[in-house]
Amino acid sequence: MIRVLIADDHPIVRTGLRAVFEGEPSIEIVGEVGRAEDAVARVDAQADGIDVVTMDLRFGAGMSGAEATRAVRRREDAPAVLVLTNYDNDVDILEAIEAGASGYLLKDAPPADLISAVQDAAAGRTVLAPVVANRLQERRRRPEVALTPREHDVLALVAEGLTNDQISQRLYLSKPTVKSHLAHIYGKLDVSSRTAALARARDLGLLR
């Protein structure tokens, strides 16, 4: 029996996933949570012997799905993490994979594909949606600068003209964290100022 924890901040999505998985005899839903932090806490408790966590990427304020994935996968006896999301951009894909996700599927995948993905993840196999696999192949052929979703958020607010203090308040981040994100952005873009970062990001098409 594959024991699955569902982590998604939308109740309707959780209900839909539960309905899909409960129709498969080899899968048992051991719980569902609406916050990334709660998913990490449930795995840390290990009360349910979780085998696979289905993880959304965006949870609003607080820990992101990628951050939760990284925290979950740090455990020696970590369950597999299968990312189920609506987002298929390069930044999200890379951050999830680098965080240790065993798979990356879009939420509009057919039920049979979702079930197979959980089974593959539980068996230690990697599963990627076709569009995601294609993106990764293209990226290997054409390396690009990759910012994390949070770095994108910070950069977008810089583009709006917000100060570090204002970014801190808008994103509910500490000021040192904002500065750290900016330092990482500067390093990835090989620049040393906000103005240069914005110019370089626009050249690379990183600003949405």
At 154 the pLDDT is 95
Same domain, 49 and 113: yes
Same domain, 43 and 132: yes
pLDDT higher than 80, residue 147: yes
Cα–Cα distance measured from residue 155 to residue 12, given in angstroms and rounded to the nearest whole number: 32
Cα–Cα distance measured from residue 90 to residue 50, given in angstroms and rounded to the nearest whole number: 29
At 114 the pLDDT is 95
Task: Say if residue 130 is exposed, middle or buried (CB neighbours under 10 Å; 0-12, 13-18, 19+).
Answer: exposed
Same domain, 28 and 103: yes
Higher-pLDDT residue of 140, 31: 31
Q: What are phi and psi of 32, to 5 degrees?
A: -145, 145
Cα–Cα distance measured from residue 135 to residue 187, given in angstroms and rounded to the nearest whole number: 24
At 128 the pLDDT is 84
Q: Per the structure block, which two tokens stand in for 26? A: 């080899």
Same domain, 52 and 71: yes
Same domain, 23 and 87: yes
Higher-pLDDT residue of 25, 145: 25
Q: What is the pLDDT of residues 41-64, one digit of tens each?
A: 999 887 568 999 999 988 877 888
Same domain, 13 and 39: yes
Same domain, 20 and 97: yes
The CATH number that applies at residue 197 is: 1.10.10.10
Cα–Cα distance measured from residue 131 to residue 137, given in angstroms and rounded to the nearest whole number: 10
Domain of 157, in residue numbers: 149-204
Same domain, 79 and 132: yes
Out of 89, 118, 141, a domain closes at 141
The DSSP 8-state label assigned to residue 62 in this structure reads S
Q: What is the pLDDT of residues 95-118, one digit of tens each?
A: 888 888 988 998 889 999 999 999
Cα–Cα distance measured from residue 141 to residue 135, given in angstroms and rounded to the nearest whole number: 10
At 127 the pLDDT is 87
Question: With bands split at pLDDT 50, 70 and 90, how would you rate the model's confidence at 129?
Answer: confident
Same domain, 6 and 31: yes
Same domain, 88 and 164: no
Cα–Cα distance measured from residue 45 to residue 57, given in angstroms and rounded to the nearest whole number: 22
Task: Provide the domain count of the chain.
Answer: 2
Same domain, 26 and 114: yes
pLDDT higher than 70, residue 88: no
Map residue 109 onto helix, strand or coil: coil
Out of 98, 125, 141, a domain closes at 141
Same domain, 8 and 81: yes
Strand partners, 128: 104
Higher-pLDDT residue of 78, 92: 78
For residues 6 and 29, the answer to whether their CB atoms sit within 8 Å is yes
